[in-house]
Amino acid sequence: MLPQSLLKRIVVFEGWEDWVRDFPQRLKACEARFRVRVLAPYQGLSYHYVAPALAENGQPYVLKMGVPNREMAAELTALKLFAGPSVVKLLDEDLEMGAWVLERLEPATPLTHLPDDEATRIAAKLMTNLWQDPPSNPSDLDSLPTVEKWSKGLAECRKTFGSHGPIPEVLLSRAEYHFKEFLSTPQQVKLLHGDLHHYNILLSQRGYTIIDPKGLIGDIGYELGTFLRNPMDFWQRDNLKTLLERRIAIFSEMLGFEKNYIIAWAIAHCVLSAWWDVEEGVLGPESLIIPQTLATL
């Protein structure tokens, strides 16, 4: 049985109906292909089925499955390019099956358990260890998304709603301006994680370890936006503005970025994320409060 949280999300992927219908057979095929026994899945799944698994010798692994698509191919490429001490290890893969096997991280505690300043400093350090030049291999480049391509979502928002959509015009126009500004004169174009937040940095037997990279190519400033709008309940904090100011100060100190650069990229990123929420029909106050607060800094 697939968790409801997963079923609600994967409808955005082409071919999801066949994948859901055939899931029991697909799971059995993965167990045979990777020679593992899959246990009950983790809670709170979004776009992929992720579950602990055991090899025949009892070695613990994690099995990840999903609808085969470009996003999955990009994640596999990113895992290979980012391979190193700060990133979860990819142990086996079968893109045609839409599945791969990862090392199991223990205790897998997310950054949410730490004081906010400490979590932000850990994330900043991991970013500097992770970012690298875009790959030179044409096939790798072709499989990876870009910030420029993702930013075109705002053009779809404008085309659909004009200046009277669910995203306030003052935020939409500011995000459009910042994307145009940074895409024309980027500071540093690197291979980024693309979704680096508190739940994708886990405490493991090797220290804090990154999971689920998107493999995004773009200006490094874009990377900070995801972290600045997380964790999921962050928008409800009474001291939200103060916390955002603290995070921005830490990123500025550790990464050498101007604070206005961080704020501008964060607004652009958060508004784009809000548009994705519109597309999925889940836009709520949690999508807009953080960019609205950033715009006051």
Kindly report, residue by residue over 111-162, the tens digit of the pLDDT.
Answer: 999 999 999 999 999 999 999 999 999 989 999 999 999 999 999 999 999 9
Q: Which pLDDT tens digit goes with each residue over 162-175? A: 999 999 999 999 99
pLDDT band at 4 (very low <50, low <70, confident <90, very high): confident
DSSP structure class, residue 113: G
What pLDDT does 8 receive? 79
Cα–Cα distance, 6 to 170 (Å, whole number): 33
Closest CA to 259 of 217, 218, 221, 219: 221
Cα–Cα distance, 265 to 242 (Å, whole number): 18
What separation, in Å, do the N-terminal and C-terminal C-alpha atoms of the chain show?
46
Contacts of 283 (CB under 8 A, 6+ apart): 166, 167, 274, 277
Whether residue 64 is predicted with pLDDT greater than 80 in this model: the reply is: yes
Q: Whole-number mean pLDDT of the chain?
A: 95
Whether residue 63 is predicted with pLDDT greater than 90 in this model: the reply is: yes
Strand partners, 110: 202
171 phi and psi angles, rounded to 5 deg: -75, -45
Cα–Cα distance, 169 to 179 (Å, whole number): 15
Q: How many Cβ atoms from other residues are within 10 Å of residue 135's Cβ?
A: 19
What pLDDT does 134 receive? 96
Whether residue 46 is predicted with pLDDT greater than 90 in this model: the reply is: no
Cα–Cα distance, 175 to 24 (Å, whole number): 43
Whether residue 1 is predicted with pLDDT greater than 80 in this model: the reply is: no
Instruction: Reduce the DSSP state of residue 218 to 3 states and report it.
Output: strand
Q: How many Cβ atoms from other residues are within 10 Å of residue 250's Cβ?
A: 18
- What CA dihedral angle connects 258, 256, 145 and 207, to 10 degrees? -140
Residues 206-226, mean pLDDT to the nearest whole number:
97
pLDDT band at 86 (very low <50, low <70, confident <90, very high): very high
Residues 206-230, mean pLDDT to the nearest whole number:
97
- Let me know: does 20 contact 3? Beta carbons within 8 Å: no
Cα–Cα distance, 175 to 64 (Å, whole number): 34
β-strand pairing of 189-192 with 90-94: unpaired
Strand partners, 61: 53, 103
Residues 274-279, mean pLDDT to the nearest whole number:
95
Residues 236-244, mean pLDDT to the nearest whole number:
97
- Looking at per-residue pLDDT, the higher value among 45 and 231 belongs to 231
Please name the amino acid found at residue 281. G
Residues 85-113, mean pLDDT to the nearest whole number:
97
Residues 42-51, mean pLDDT to the nearest whole number:
90
pLDDT band at 84 (very low <50, low <70, confident <90, very high): very high
pLDDT band at 31 (very low <50, low <70, confident <90, very high): very high
H-assigned helices in 196-239 = 223-228
Residues 260-289, mean pLDDT to the nearest whole number:
96
pLDDT band at 14 (very low <50, low <70, confident <90, very high): confident
- The helix/strand count (H/E) of the chain reads as 13, 10
pLDDT band at 206 (very low <50, low <70, confident <90, very high): very high
Provide the percentage of residues in the chain whose pLDDT is more than 70.
Answer: 100
Q: How many Cβ atoms from other residues are within 10 Å of residue 67's Cβ?
A: 20
Q: What is the pTM of this model?
A: 0.95
